């Protein structure tokens, strides 16, 4: 996705929220210095490039450098994973007892993209999952997704955040029951970036024992030119299916020409740009099959 007018203010808001979350007592000078570094970068940025993952990478590189920590979200990611794992068996039970376990697992994976851990949401995880219904997906291409899975032998899931990755593991468990011959590959980031899941998170929740886990790149989205050879191979698989989790991955794939494969977005709309693109409201859940213009 190219840089859009809504993105500039969002970047600076993300930066400010990150400092307040990670080190609430940072000095005024440190935060302003970080914002100035981002301004300097934006002045030289080609607005016709695929901006989303690149600008996210630069933004959080500035934050990491000024905090003197290559993985400032490390402890929070462990907290996120541990929180969901605490409810793992209960979540699995709710899904397996649902009228349509696969659809319930999709809803659970969508729920994983909605949780705001900074707001102490943990008390509502089970209640939210129990109350999620078909209407909670404002855009719902579930039937198309099942058809795509029936017609392929390869599914690449592009993962998003820590914590959310536990819901994705449960989704994979359910998919494997319905499509036992399907090869499923799950991708994580190749190095720490924001609270995105890495290979460390996949091992922490034992996802690596369930499916092949590969690394993509070190941005909060997909930059094909910087991706690992392993990721490129699975990404380019003909007649394969891609399930893209979260807004960052959507912004990476939006506008990208992907022939001979079906691509699905599963995300929560978190900004005005998503409202404009999808015709939804902030907070709405989306399960959308990619069209040529998407």
pLDDT digit string, tens, across residues 80-117? 899 999 999 999 999 999 999 999 999 999 988 876 55
Structural domain ending residue among the three candidates 41, 67, 93: 67
Q: Is residue 190 part of a domain?
A: yes
CA distances from 83 to 121, 140, 163, 182, 267 (A): 10, 28, 7, 30, 21
Are 124 and 181 part of one and the same domain? Answer: yes
Q: Is residue 247 assigned to a domain?
A: yes
Domain of 82, in residue numbers: 74-289
Q: Are residues 38 and 135 in the same domain?
A: no
Token pair of 154 as six digits = 């390869």
Instruction: Report how far residue 287's alpha carbon sits from residue 260's, in angstroms, rounded to the nearest whole number.
Output: 20
Residues 243 and 146 reside in one and the same domain: yes
CA 58/CA 81 separation, integer angstroms: 26
Mean pLDDT, residues 69-74 taken together: 94
Last residue of a domain, one of 67, 86, 110: 67
Residue 98 sits in the same domain as residue 58: no
Flag whether 212 is in a domain: yes
Highest mean pLDDT among 45-49, 132-136, 250-254: 250-254
21 vs 136: which has the higher pLDDT = 21
Tokens of residue 67, six digits = 């905090």
Q: Can you point out the beta strands (E) in the chain?
A: 137-140, 154-158, 183-188, 212-215, 241-245, 262-268, 285-289
Q: Is residue 294 part of a domain?
A: no
Least confident of 195-209, 224-238, 255-269: 255-269
* Residue 137, domain CATH: 3.40.50.10880
Q: Return the C-alpha torsion angle 22, 28, 33, 36, nearest 10.
A: 100
Cα–Cα distance between 267 and 15 in angstroms, integer?
A: 21
Same domain, 91 and 213: yes
Instruction: Please indicate, yes or no, if residue 33 is contained in any of the structural domains.
Output: yes
Answer yes or no: do 136 and 206 share one domain.
yes
Region of poorest pLDDT, from 43-47, 174-178, 263-267: 43-47
Same domain, 237 and 123: yes
Encoding tokens for residue 44? 């030289």
Task: Find the length of the chain.
Answer: 294
Domain count, the chain: 2
Q: Exposure of 120 by Cβ count < 10 A (0-12 exposed, 13-18 middle, 19+ buried)?
A: exposed
Same structural domain, 53 and 158: no
Q: Which of 28, 22, 36 is CA-nearest to residue 194?
A: 22
- Residues 47 and 100 both lie in one domain: no
Residues 102, 47 share a domain: no
What digits encode the pLDDT tens for the residues 11-34? 999 899 999 889 888 899 999 999
> Does the structure show a pLDDT above 70 at 58?
yes
Residue 6: pLDDT over 90 = no
Question: 280 and 188, same structural domain?
Answer: yes
Q: What is the dihedral of CA 252, 253, 257, 263, to 10 degrees?
A: 160
Q: Is the pLDDT of residue 209 over 90?
A: yes
CA–CA gap between residue 150 and residue 155 (Å, rounded):
11
**CA gap 208, 293 in Å, rounded:** 34
| Average pLDDT, integer, range 203-229 | 96
DSSP 64-128: HHHHT-S-TTHHHHHHHHHHHHHTHHHHHHHHHTSSSHHHHHHHHHHHHTT--GGGTGGGGHHHH
- Residue 212 forms beta bridges with which residues? 185
Q: For residue 3, how many other CB atoms are within 10 A of its CB?
A: 19
Answer yes or no: do 174 and 220 share one domain.
yes
Q: Which residues contact 139 (CB under 8 A, 6 or more apart)?
A: 278, 280, 284, 286, 287, 288
Q: CA-to-CA distance for 143 and 133, rounded, in angstroms?
A: 15
Other beta carbons within 10 angstroms of residue 242's beta carbon come to 25
**Residue 55: is its pLDDT beyond 70?**
yes
- Tell whether 197 is covered by a domain: yes
Q: Does residue 153 fall inside a structural domain?
A: yes
Show which of 39, 67, 95 is a domain's final residue: 67
């Amino acid at each position: 996705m190219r840089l859009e007018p809504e993105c500039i203010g969002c970047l600076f808001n993300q930066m400010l929220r990150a400092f307040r979350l990670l080190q609430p007592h940072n000095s005024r000078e440190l935060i302003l210095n970080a914002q100035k570094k981002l301004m300097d970068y934006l002045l030289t940025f080609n607005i016709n490039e695929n901006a989303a993952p690149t600008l996210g990478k630069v933004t959080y590189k500035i934050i990491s450098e000024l905090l003197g920590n290559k993985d400032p979200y490390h402890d929070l990611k462990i907290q996120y994973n541990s929180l969901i794992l605490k409810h793992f068996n209960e979540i699995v039970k709710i899904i397996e007892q649902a009228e349509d376990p696969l659809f319930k697992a999709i809803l659970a994976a969508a729920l994983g993209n909605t949780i705001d851990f900074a707001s102490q949401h943990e008390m509502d995880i089970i209640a939210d999952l129990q109350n999620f219904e078909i209407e909670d997906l404002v855009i719902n291409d579930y039937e198309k997704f099942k058809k795509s899975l029936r017609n392929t032998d390869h599914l690449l899931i592009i993962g998003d955040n820590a914590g959310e990755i536990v819901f994705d593991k449960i989704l994979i468990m359910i998919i494997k029951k319905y499509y036992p011959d399907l090869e499923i590959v799950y991708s994580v980031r190749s190095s720490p970036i924001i609270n995105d899941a890495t290979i460390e998170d996949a091992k922490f929740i034992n996802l690596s024992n369930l499916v092949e886990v590969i690394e993509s790149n070190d941005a909060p989205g997909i930059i094909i030119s910087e991706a690992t050879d392993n990721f490129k191979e699975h990404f380019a698989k003909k007649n394969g299916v891609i399930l893209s989790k979260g807004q960052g991955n959507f912004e990476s794939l939006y506008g990208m020409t992907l022939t001979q494969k079906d691509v699905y977005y599963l995300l929560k709309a978190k900004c005005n740009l998503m409202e404009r693109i999808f015709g939804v409201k902030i907070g709405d859940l989306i399960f959308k099959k990619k069209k040529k213009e998407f």
